[in-house]
Amino acid sequence: MVLFRLLLGIAMLTMGGRLFWLFLGGVGFVFGFDFAEPMLEGQAHSVMLIIALLAGLVGALSAVFLQKIAIVVGGFLAGGYLLIGVLTQFGIRMGHYHWLFFLIGGIIGSILMKLVFGWSLIILSSLIGAVLILQTQHFGQQTTKLLFIFLLALGIAIQCGLIGQKPPPRRM
């Protein structure tokens, strides 16, 4: 699962804002796996992977066929997952209030996706990509914070076309 998270994190960090179906598929996959893991403890790893793949497929298909609903639902899932992921990466303990933080992050994510879709998609996919990449490695808290900021800035820059794009031709 570490390799899947790393590859998905890189894809989300670099292309999540351009490919809405990738964003929702990725969010669905990670959410499905993280939801299935504690619920199906003791089951084969492949069962959790199948559930995650099905959740990712539902996310990707909903992005294609149910765009307006998918934007709000995707923003909710991304915002909730993101807030939990960031708080966990920074060592903040939530106790029995995981659901409350997920709900708060979800509401913020869905509002942002509805109001400013393009920028929200770039920022949320960069944030989730950074969290997924950081989840594959274990760093100290200070290093994690620095890498998180670096990856976030890198993802936003790549998705906004600031890196890897040729300058426009000069007019004479």
Give tens-digit pLDDT for 62-110. Answer: 877 887 888 888 889 888 988 988 888 788 888 888 889 999 999 998 9
pLDDT of residue 168: 46
pTM of the model: 0.69
Are the CB atoms for 70 and 51 separated by under 8 Å?
no
Q: What's the one-letter identity of residue 18?
A: R
DSSP symbols for 55-93: HHHHHHHHHHH-HHHHHHHHHHHHHHHHHHHHHHHTT--
pLDDT of residue 120: 82
Average pLDDT over every residue of 113-136 = 86
147 pLDDT more than 90 = yes
Tokens standing for residue 158: 């790549």
In angstroms, the CA 97 to CA 102 distance is 9
**What mean pLDDT value characterizes the chain?**
82
Instruction: State percent of the chain over pLDDT 90.
Output: 13
Are the CB atoms for 82 and 105 separated by under 8 Å?
yes
In angstroms, the CA 10 to CA 8 distance is 5
DSSP state of 164: S
pLDDT of residue 172: 45
